Structure 1
Amino acid sequence: MKASVIMSTYNAEEWLEKVIWGFSVQTDTDFEIIIADDGSGPKTKELLEKLRKEIDIPIIHVWQEDAGFQKSQILNKAILASNSDYLIFTDGDCIPRKDFISVHLNYREKGYFLSGGYFMLPMNVSMAITKHDIVEQNCFNTKWLIEKGLKKSFKTAKLNSSGFWSRFFNFITPTKATWNGHNASGWKEDLLFINGFNQEMQYGGQDRELGERLVNKGLKSKQIRYSAIVIHLDHARGYVNEETWRKNFAIRENTRKNKVVKTAIGIDSNLK
């Protein structure tokens, strides 16, 4: 198996189903899906049982009890459950373009991690996307999206970029190639070495902090935001609060200042 796709979710079955359908039509299908479930109710498990009968990609459900926003911990548990040496991370609200897996696999290289982006959709367009639109890739067609209510913008060019132009845009973009949880990938051995995600961190920068420790380890990053394309479905973010942001910012400051490589509370705290 070439890769394991790890995606986080929490009580968002409608969005999660759309995302999994996106992975079911990938041009390269030699991968597994690992659902990092941060305490969803039984409807998520029921959905996954249904989808296992409808698609050919293996689906592994890693679940933990709901104890508030504990995404870092469930991602670490998902890393331990993975069965390949290359891990691709995304979220259960990001539908991948059909070449998403092949792009990550083509760009992977020892000593590097990959940094992708996303294209944010408004709620009305997110709701309009059906299984048919995913299978036929209508949801990556600029004209179709505008017909469904998306406002015209120069940013839509990202959705159709490929070949020379995607490589060119990756090269000239001023955006730094950071670890972005919705679209990033790396070697499992590197993630295990740094002890995975810092479980002291809740929402706000925990993905970036992991990437900063990978850099402290000596890794470099590749920019693929115009090559590995996902569309981000809209949703509320009730878990955001200022206190958590301040705490996470202080942790990241310490990681950068002291060149921290291994987090003290990470993957190894989940080993039995």
Structure 2
Amino acid sequence: MKISVIIATYNRPDALDIVLQSLEKQTDKGFEIIIADDGSGSETRELVTHHINKRKNTIQHVWHEDLGFRLAQIRNLATQSARGDYLIFLDGDCAVQPDFIEQHKKLSEPGYMVTGSRVLLEKTITDQICSSREWNYDDFKAKALVNLFKKQLNKILPLYIKIPNNLFRKYKKFEWRRIKGCNLACWKNDALKINGFDETLIGWGHEDADFVFRLNEAGIKRKSGAWSTEVFHLWHKMANKENAEKNAAIVRAKILAKAK
């Protein structure tokens, strides 16, 4: 089983650096990395080149011209380049725990996708991590309780408690809630079966829910990765959400059409 980690990024090299460092320190080394770059500038390209030259993981840099927020399209291009059987979609501002790949592999199962969750980091701790340009998970974990009291993290228990694979993780039907494209996994053949992400969904919002819904309609069931695969979502300014409701309406229309 070969895993391809597809990291979506756009002009956030400081955060991407932290994410790539966290992937370098995985307990399970059986994966490749594909940077799905939605049109970043030269600073990101230089950072990726640095990691390609210095790191042990196989890294590909898939880039297209900056013509606005086209996350669906760049993820599809990265999927086409993936050599793995199993895809893990990750955002370029989401650092991972050392057993992230190991836990995802434990949850992987033919006929299933996995939707993971995240720990939200506030601005102060994010600035500290990104300015240091060093990811030290042991130090982060040791200070987690203090940072929780400082309201720099929204939760910490998933760092200490890992719930094994079990039947309670499996959803019985499609649910929109708790779908996070920043931590989502599926088999490559299943993604190709539904032609990947819907590229008509341009701008921020809901391409992940649409992807999960269409996988579900294709017979791929959903499994929760919570309390197992949590990522650390670095703080950033709110995205431009002017297309979010339009995208949501498109997804709702698909759901309603299938319900008839």
Aligned residue for 2:32, secondary structure, equals strand
Aligned residue for 2:54, secondary structure, equals coil
1:44 aligns with 2:44: yes
The answer (yes or no) to whether the contact 1:22–1:95 under 8 Å persists in 2 is yes
Query: How far is 1:250 from its partner?
Result: 1.7
Q: 1:1-272 counterparts in 2 under 5 A?
A: 2-129=2-129, 130=132, 132=134, 134-141=135-142, 143-144=143-144, 146-147=146-147, 150-151=150-151, 155-163=155-163, 179-201=179-201, 202-241=203-242, 244-259=243-258
Partner of 1:265: none
Partner of 1:264: none
Question: What letter corresponds to residue 6 of structure 1 in structure 2?
Answer: I
Distance change in 2, residues 1:153/1:76 (3 Å): closer
1-structure distance, mates of 2:247, 2:94: 24
1-structure distance, mates of 2:151, 2:178: 28
Query: How far is 1:148 from its partner?
Result: 9.0
2-structure distance, mates of 1:216, 1:119: 29
TM-score when scaled to structure 2? 0.89
2-structure distance, mates of 1:207, 1:128: 30
Question: What letter corresponds to residue 137 of structure 1 in structure 2?
Answer: D
Question: What letter corresponds to residue 42 of structure 2 in structure 1?
Answer: P
2-structure distance, mates of 1:154, 1:144: 10
2-structure distance, mates of 1:136, 1:83: 28
The answer (yes or no) to whether the contact 1:25–1:135 under 8 Å persists in 2 is no
2-structure distance, mates of 1:67, 1:112: 33
Question: What letter corresponds to residue 160 of structure 2 in structure 1?
Answer: N
The answer (yes or no) to whether the contact 1:9–1:91 under 8 Å persists in 2 is yes
2-structure distance, mates of 1:225, 1:177: 13
Partner of 1:267: none
2-structure distance, mates of 1:128, 1:169: 37
Distance change in 2, residues 1:17/1:145 (3 Å): farther
- Deviations for 1:110-169, whole angstroms, at most 9, x for unmatched residues? 11000100000001101222455x34432234x3462597428783212222246x9799
The answer (yes or no) to whether the contact 2:34–2:59 under 8 Å persists in 1 is yes
Let me know the Cα RMSD of the aligned residues.
2.6
TM-score when scaled to structure 1? 0.85
2-structure distance, mates of 1:195, 1:168: 29
Which sections of structure 2, spanning at least 5 residues, go unmatched?
Answer: none
User: Which consecutive segments of 4 or more residues in structure 1 shift more than 4 A?
Assistant: 166-171, 175-179
- Deviations for 1:54-102, whole angstroms, at most 9, x for unmatched residues? 2100110000110111111100100001011100001000000000001
The answer (yes or no) to whether the contact 1:2–1:85 under 8 Å persists in 2 is yes
2-structure distance, mates of 1:225, 1:155: 12
Query: How far is 1:177 from its partner?
Result: 7.2
1-structure distance, mates of 2:169, 2:150: 24
The answer (yes or no) to whether the contact 1:213–1:259 under 8 Å persists in 2 is no
2-structure distance, mates of 1:44, 1:211: 29
Distance change in 2, residues 1:153/1:250 (3 Å): closer
2-structure distance, mates of 1:234, 1:80: 30
Aligned residue for 1:66, secondary structure, equals coil
Question: What letter corresponds to residue 59 of structure 2 in structure 1?
Answer: I
1-structure distance, mates of 2:153, 2:50: 37
Question: What letter corresponds to residue 212 of structure 1 in structure 2?
Answer: F
Question: What letter corresponds to residue 44 of structure 1 in structure 2?
Answer: T
Partner of 1:266: none
Identity %, equivalent residues: 36
The answer (yes or no) to whether the contact 1:115–1:221 under 8 Å persists in 2 is yes
Which sections of structure 1, spanning at least 5 residues, go unmatched?
Answer: 261-272
